[in-house]
Amino acid sequence: NAGVTQTPKFQVLKTGQSMTLQCAQDMNHEYMSWYRQDPGMGLRLIHYSVGAGITDQGEVPNGYNVSRSTTEDFPLRLLSAAPSQTSVYFCASSYSRQGIGELFFGEGSRLTVL
């Protein structure tokens, strides 16, 4: 059972570089979301999606873009990486389209921006 799969697990970037964090789920969940986890800050919502073609901003969206072309995939794009984006990123999905059901998380992607 794959669940929520994130790639890559680790990434080092230089300031100004761009990259995409991949997230895929095989549970046919409508709701998908991206969080970042920082020491002393807890988890904060970046972007979320309630279905293919529908995305919206969360609490900390600046510097990130998302798209949802299929139910399975929800990539997170960093357009021009900054040291402040050094963090652990988690993708999560839910069977509830409103995002109010049990949340399933990926293993995380650890990003360092130099």
Partner 1 sequence: KQEVTQIPAALSVPEGENLVLNCSFTDSAIYNLQWFRQDPGKGLTSLLLIQSSQREQTSGRLNASLDKSSGRSTLYIAASQPGDSATYLCAATDRGSTLGRLYFGRGTQLTVWP
User: Which residues here bind partner 1, judged by CB under 8 A?
Assistant: 4, 40-43, 45, 48, 50, 56, 58, 90, 92, 96, 98-108
Q: Which among 9, 7, 30, 42 is positioned nearest to 104, based on CA atoms?
A: 30
Nearer to partner 1, 85 or 90 (CB): 90
Angle ∠(41,45,49) on CA atoms, nearest 5: 170
Minimal distance, residue 46 CB to partner 1, in Å? 12
Minimal distance, residue 112 CB to partner 1, in Å? 15
Nearer to partner 1, 42 or 62 (CB): 42
Could you give the residue ranges of the DSSP H alpha helices within 14-106?
Answer: none
Nearer to partner 1, 83 or 101 (CB): 101
